[in-house]
Structure 1
Amino acid sequence: MTTPPSDDTLLALPKAELHLHIEGTLEPDLAFELAGRNGVELPYASVEELAAQYDFSDLQSFLDLYYATMAVLRTEDDFAELTRRYLRTAAAQGVRHAELFFDPQAHVARGVPIEAVIDGIGGALAEAERDLGVSGGLILCFLRDQPVESADAVLTAALTRPERLLGVGLDSAEVGYPPELFAGVFARAKDAGLHAVAHAGEEGPPSYIVQALDLLGVERVDHGIRAAEDPELMARLAADGIPLTVCPLSNVRLRTVPDLSAHPLLRLDAAGVRVTVNSDDPAYFGGYVGDNYLAIRDALGVTAEQAERFARTSIDASFAPTARKAELQAAVDAWRS
């Protein structure tokens, strides 16, 4: 394929999504629906007024709204409905495997039982595998701006549902909260048989990526775009085959890059770094994963061949069983032909 891929071609490309915060799929209309159901008063008069708040100056301004709106999520059914809606949209944009981040500390602090969170999201994932052909699992993310003791406690609670969990991650406000703080809780998670990923090098410096690799033992780096500032680090990532879960539209919306044409995605790819394309918090950042593929085609000239490479990498970099990865790669073969 030498001509730019069409919208339909890119949306049909079978892909895995590896960087998706399920709370970040809370669209304004669902927020108001759940607020009404649960008797939660949002500080906005309408869906339109809430949507107008989605103009962020940085990561922290986004997080302030993100945590405020998730107050509407109260019950297992709420988390299941949130997940169902994401999965239907994602499946329509080519997602065949989804590894969903969730932030249990933000929910248990509001009195929501962690079992309701895990069972709601996990139950909807099981439905999607049956009804949509989308496989997946859950990655419990620790909030790095909360005490490490809180992360330890939530890991202990979540391990009552070990069959639901693929791994652990690290997210929320990055600057000032280096990965090294969480080395102990990551070691516990790995001892329990869980995979490890972490946000690093979004707003934080390249040294945070090094810490995530050396001190947390992560298998993937979430975001990781500031590796492009460090040639030695890029060479290491390429040599070790460490994937990055890059989120182009998110990076623009949170102003970690000035615009999409300046995004380092293709520089990382050209350096041999394994990159994947993801949506992060699509309700807030202007698009789901297929929309991100369309955006990088338009802004960076991404070709069908490059898009295929990103999709194949997303499958290989997933924590899906070997047989499932083979099925998904065969689906990409069929797309290519």
Structure 2
Amino acid sequence: MTPVQRHTPKIELHVHLEGTVRPALLAALAHGNRLPAPAGPPEVFDDLYAFIATWNAMTTVLRTPRDYRRALLAYAAEAARDGAVHLEPIVDADERLGLAGFADVLAALVDAAAEARERHGVSIGLTPQVCRGHDVDFAQDAARVAARFAGRGVVGFGLSGAEGRYPTTPYTRAVNLARDGGLPFVPHAGEAAGPAAVREVLAMGAVRIRHGVRAVDEPELVAELAGRGVVLDVTPTSNLRLGVARPDRPHPLTVLTGAGVVCSVSTDDPAIFDITLADEYALADRLGVDAATAYAAGLRGMLGDATTRARLVAVGERAYPAGSPARPRLRQ
């Protein structure tokens, strides 16, 4: 494997927009909304649930469409410096925004995504989500709101939250409403909970799974994922920091890709973990997934339109020339 260059083209499919906001911008947003600046993250997280509490405390200062717009433009610029050519940021349909506020946020983000493409050459497909534990009726209404933006910059609909503490099946109707509106299902699963959680979202029609790394606990499921070509969005540092991966064992990314599972590489929450997209690609390289393979996986899993896909194929073919034994097949 060759060393990962910072400007090597990269695709990122799993990044929480709220978790991209670096401390200076976070403090500015808090000041603008007359809120105290949130405390920084701890050095060590006990588990996913402790992380979620920190995430909620740090990101609550985003209150207005302008806040979200600033966040997206800032991260697009940062990611572009690290070689990003396509992003699929996640944005929560937070109950504190209300449905009208959520719609206003999505409208602002659609405009910001177009501006980011013009300014930084990064295509952006937004993937709003609801969280396990949210009011079910709110989740269904949020799915209807998200579907209004299908074909206008919103490309998928997700489900996140405290996996293992709150059930998934109550959100089936919300998922179906989004899908009927043109938004494929891209849930979180298989992070805090095990293989059963992965099977659950597969049964609900997931086209891609964010995390999914606990599938390694069940070899039959790993083989099924490989056979079906399901893309898992793996976040190597996050897995280590939250105890999903253990430093004394092979990283799930190594195990999964070794078994033929297609895994994209992403940061999850780069500001909270104090990492960059280039850092994650470099870590993935050390774990056995080179930049060409990570790029091809991102291309396989991305939800953008045919024009965006064709552009990304062309970018990949220029960056990873044919004849290189490491380059996976980019055209599908």
TM over 0.5: yes
Runs of 4 or more, structure 1, over 4 Å off, are none
Quick check: which one's helix share is greater?
1
Cα separation, 2, equivalents of 1:261 and 1:270:
14
Give the aligned residue type for 1:62: F
Cα separation, 1, equivalents of 2:55 and 2:123:
26
Cα deviation for residue 290 of structure 1 reads 1.7
Cα deviation for residue 84 of structure 1 reads 0.8
1:51-76 superposed Cα distances (whole Å, 9 cap, x missing partner): 35353211111111211222221222
Cα separation, 1, equivalents of 2:113 and 2:207:
23
Give the aligned residue type for 2:223: A
Cα deviation for residue 335 of structure 1 reads 1.6
Cα separation, 1, equivalents of 2:24 and 2:100:
22
SS of corresponding position for 1:276: strand
Instruction: Using the aligned pairs only, state the percent identity.
Output: 32
SS of corresponding position for 1:174: coil
Counterpart position of 1:154: 142
Counterpart position of 1:322: 306
Of residues 133, 136, 154, the one that matches 1:145 is 133
Cα separation, 2, equivalents of 1:112 and 1:67:
21
Counterpart position of 2:14: 19
Contact 1:13 1:332 in 2 (8 A): no
RMSD: 2.0
1:41-99 superposed Cα distances (whole Å, 9 cap, x missing partner): 23x5xxxxx33535321111111121122222122211111111111111111211111
SS of corresponding position for 1:19: strand
1:275-314 superposed Cα distances (whole Å, 9 cap, x missing partner): 110111111123122211112334x2x36xx331121110
Distance 1:156 1:322, change over 3 A: closer
Counterpart position of 2:113: 125
Counterpart position of 1:47: none
2:177 paired with 1:180: no
5+ residue gaps in structure 1? 45-49
Distance 1:34 1:318, change over 3 A: same
Of residues 290, 296, 299, the one that matches 1:312 is 296
> Aligned runs of 1:110-121 on 2, under 5 Å?
113-121=101-109
Contact 2:124 2:153 in 1 (8 A): no
Give the aligned residue type for 2:2: P
Cα deviation for residue 7 of structure 1 reads 4.2
Of residues 44, 53, 70, the one that matches 2:59 is 70
SS of corresponding position for 1:195: coil
Of residues 200, 205, 228, the one that matches 1:240 is 228
Contact 2:158 2:188 in 1 (8 A): yes
Distance 1:181 1:54, change over 3 A: farther
Counterpart position of 2:255: 267
Cα deviation for residue 107 of structure 1 reads 4.0
Aligned length in residues:
320
Contact 1:250 1:285 in 2 (8 A): yes
Cα separation, 2, equivalents of 1:157 and 1:326:
29
1:225-244 superposed Cα distances (whole Å, 9 cap, x missing partner): 01111111111111111100
User: What's the TM-score, normalizing by structure 2?
Assistant: 0.90
Distance 1:133 1:311, change over 3 A: same
Cα separation, 2, equivalents of 1:254 and 1:105:
23
Counterpart position of 1:5: 2
Counterpart position of 2:330: none
Contact 2:95 2:138 in 1 (8 A): no
Of residues 8, 31, 55, the one that matches 1:36 is 31
Distance 1:84 1:242, change over 3 A: same
2:90 paired with 1:93: no
Cα deviation for residue 160 of structure 1 reads 4.1
